[in-house]
Chain A
Amino acid sequence: MSVPADQLAQLGSAAAKPGRRLPNKYKLFLMALPFLAVTFIFYYLPIYGWIYAFYDYIPGIPLEKTPFVGFKWFRTIAENPTQTAEVVRVMKNTVAMSGLGIATSFLPVVFAILLTEIKTGWYRRIVQTLTTIPNFISWILVYSVAFTLFSVDNGLVNTLLLKLGFIDDGINFLANNRNVWLAMIAWYWWKSLGWGAILYLAAITGIDQELYEAAEVDGASRFRKIWHITVPGIMPTFFVLLLLSIGNFVNNGMEQYFAFQNAMNKDTIEVLDLYVYNIAFSNNFAFATVVSMLKSIISVFLLFLANGMSKWVRKESII
């Protein structure tokens, strides 16, 4: 601990009276250094734990007393044909959910643009505040609301449909294997649209007002202004977020799918994170490490792949 503290002390004084002779490129570097030290300590140091992937690791027992097992845990992922088929099924769901998520990632952009078109201040503020609420309701509670709405017996929707005479028997909306992906993405956006739009609202606010004023003078229509000023103005933010979500392709999280899973929809709802949770429980730390290690590597690979594509297509690297 004392070494970085020393260095930092020097840096502190360097920053306090910027040395005139220090070339800019180093000056900038030194300014960033303390922060990089923090990054190293809290993000890179714990990575030593990846070594557990190669041991039959048990917390509390020192590593030197633990058998080294090489790639044993990596091999368990595709040990037999049935297992491989399971992993393929799970990856299909993962790709589907992430793919749908990316394909619909323009929704918060639309939401933000349309929201800024509302000129009644109080109405806009109310909408903006209240639409963020679902973000704070845990998936477990979202599910219990969904159950109230969609259960077969006494669910609101079924009761209504029965009363109106559209159906004779209750429909089990929550326990069927049809359109699970679409239903999941719909729930997802219902929960995160308002919250996700905040970033784009900020981006829109950052656009120079003079551009709009100039367009006004030219007599541009609402849609022309949106298309030629607003959209280009928030594109950088959109692309950055898109890139980051490509990096997150294999990380769907599990809470949503866990809350909604049941025997009937499990085949299509089980994404990677949920699958790992379902089979590994929480006490196999070696296997859990293997999974998180592989996921980290895949994510970083995808991130740079997407960045490379962006460089190639848009002549612009994002990170």
Chain B
Amino acid sequence: MRFKKLTSLALAAILAVAVTACSSSKNEESKNSPPASASPSSGGSGASASASPEGGLDHTKELELTVFSTTANYAGEQTGWYGKILKDKFNIKLNIIASNLDGGQNKIAAMMASGDLGDIVVFGSDKTDYPNAIKGGLLLDWTKDGLLDKYGKYIVDNFPKAIEKAKIAFGGGQAVYGLGHNVAGNQPGPSEGKDLTWGPELRWDLYKQLGYPEIRTPQDYLGVLKKMQELEPKNEQGKKTYAFSLWSDWDGNYKMTLAKQFANMYGYDENGATLLYVAADEDKYYEFLSDDSWYMKSLKLYFDANQMGLVDPDSLTQKFDDVVGKYKDGRLLFSWFPWLGSANYNTPDRTAVGKGFATVPFKEEKVYSWGFNQYGNDWIMAIGAKAKEPERIMEFINWLYTPEGAMLSSGGGTAIQNGPKGLTWDLDKDGKPFVTDFGWQAFADQKGTIVPDEYGGGTFYDGQSQINFSNVAPGLTNPETGEPYDHNLWTSSLKRNPSQLDQEWRDKMGALTPKEYFVKNNMIAVAPQGFTGKPPLMMDKALEQKNAQIGTVIQQYSWKMIFAKDEAQYDKYKQEMMDKVKGLGYDEVLAFSVKKAEELFESRKSVQQ
């Protein structure tokens, strides 16, 4: 009789599906009916009257917004200090869906297939998903019913170029479906913080012991590094030191990730996943597989370094995490990036005695830098087609671009946000911003610092804006203070008690920050960020696939070449690589790459400085 129970169970289950099917379709109907509170009333007596510059929106009803973000690193309700500010000001609550935590591209695809992307949508690129979502009718046109003009005043008045790009590139000339990230005004110079993206950095203490030998070209580092390695062949724990420790788990994107840095330091960068490196400030490019390309020269450089015993033999098999551990452990002497070497090795204990990584550029260096972009960069913030109360959403998005909004969360995504005014930072009597003692503590120990309840409670880390979208460039000057939004760039922050290492470096280099040094010595190539006035060129899927295959071949052979036994084997691998990529359709991809570079050059004309 057990069977009877089983069938009836199965039956009940299936019936239950049918029942829920009915009931949930009813739910959907009610969801689709227009929200009752959509009519703009001019009550304005709510707690947040001051927040609505147009004065037309009613904030008395709490609005829960679903934010689908492909860049967010947190899922769930926005809590803490940022949550409290949004609640007080707009009476909104954010519920974040983060595709990164839910299976990445597959989650994005599922959301797209479901036809509903939520209320606010953040794309980590304007390349594929964003145009597809527009094509699929999943995004709201901000120009409809004058939404943007009525509730997006600050954007319209201050960032007209970003709107222009949105219309021409993605909106068929009329519609605005979203805006790019790190939007700026027409401001010259590099947009980075106090460090640029590339150094390179050396162990300053060892470099100093050698008497600051001159370094003209990247190859010159090898001799210096060899001597540094002889000075400190083992770390404190008796483990061997190396100059270069490479990792391959970041290679997913087309080529060997660590072989392009010297090209960047010569003012060139890859132009998306194409076969060319393009100069930052001139209309020049080269094939990155050509002999005078710094990609190929870097492979040779690592090969030579390996012959000299400067390359970690575990480079082929280790992961990024392992490399971070080695920097922390003091086993490495060179770093391509400030965020790798100094960020991991330079503990207060070490810098106090002058030990640590610091930028040591080579004479020929002309480091690549991104200029400010009035058109906005390639991350996108958009509104979902089925959004409830688009007026209030638009009003909120507008606020994110205002000085008030930007001071709180600019840089969100990869940098530490400033936090609430009066707690982590404040204005001095001259109206200049400074970070409070509590602020420095919170920035240093974000997860361990508890925010007082009147500011929303929780830890500083959890309370940050979790949308992970930086609406305006953190380096942009705040019109209200005359200083950039990013707290690292405030004069008060830069002058704050330097460690012995900082002091030594500043004395030797004659500059406060690496950025200042590069600018002062004219060793920087700022790439203007423009826009062609046309929809972007895109590879079709078939070419994309060929390109991807070429990329995997290049990756594999790059590594093989570096670890080749001798020159003969090095050359043999190189030849094999060239043959393979040619066979896989190199020329076809190259033709596209050239077109893509020309598109870039054309776009730069729009921002002649």
Contact = CB atoms under 8 A, between A and B. Distances in A.
Q: Do chains A and B touch in the complex (CB under 8 A)?
A: yes
Interface of A: 1-2, 4-5, 8-9, 11-12, 15-16, 31, 34-35, 37-38, 56, 58-62, 65, 72, 76, 79-83, 85-86, 144, 147, 151-154, 170, 172, 174-175, 262-264, 266, 278-287
Contacts of B585: 79-80
Interface string B134-154: 011010000000000000000
A8 B582 CA distance: 61
A284 B133 contact: no
Nearest to B321: A144
B239 A154 contact: yes
Contacts of A34: 7, 10-11, 14
Say which size band chain B's interface belongs to. Answer: 35 or more
A264 B549 contact: no
A76 B112 contact: no
B147 to A, nearest CB: 22
B90 to A, nearest CB: 29
B318 A264 contact: no
B313 A170 contact: yes
B475 to A, nearest CB: 32
A264 B569 CA distance: 14
A263 B318 CA distance: 12
B314 A65 contact: no
B312 interface: yes
A59 B18 contact: no
A175 B549 CA distance: 22
Given A56-B541, A59-B110, A152-B313, A282 B104 contact: yes
Given A152-B313, A263-B248, A282 B113 contact: no
Contacts of B318: 147, 151
A85 B558 CA distance: 20
Given A34-B10, A153-B239, A154-B239, A5 B18 contact: yes
B556 interface: yes
Nearest to A65: B135
Interface in B372-421: none
Nearest to B561: A263
A262 B128 contact: no
Contacts of A152: 313-314
A82 B583 contact: yes
A81 B582 CA distance: 11
A59, A79, A284, A287 interface centre (most CB from chain B within 10 Å):
A59
Interface string B506-546: 00000000000000000000000000000000000110110
Contacts of B194: none
B607 interface: no
A76 B545 contact: yes
A172 B313 contact: yes
B322 A147 contact: yes
A83 B549 contact: yes
Given A12-B11, A34-B11, A175-B317, A2 B542 contact: no
27 contacts: A8-B14, A11-B11, A12-B7, A59-B108, A59-B112, A60-B112, A61-B132, A61-B136, A72-B542, A80-B583, A82-B584, A83-B583, A86-B584, A147-B314, A147-B318, A151-B317, A152-B313, A170-B313, A172-B316, A175-B563, A263-B560, A266-B556, A279-B549, A280-B548, A281-B548, A282-B105, A284-B541
- Considering the complex of A and B, which 5 residue pairs feature the smallest CB-CB distances, nearest first? A82-B583, A60-B112, A263-B559, A60-B136, A282-B105
A257 B319 CA distance: 15
B560 A279 contact: no
Interface string B296-318: 00000000000000001110111
A58 B14 contact: no
A189 to B, nearest CB: 22
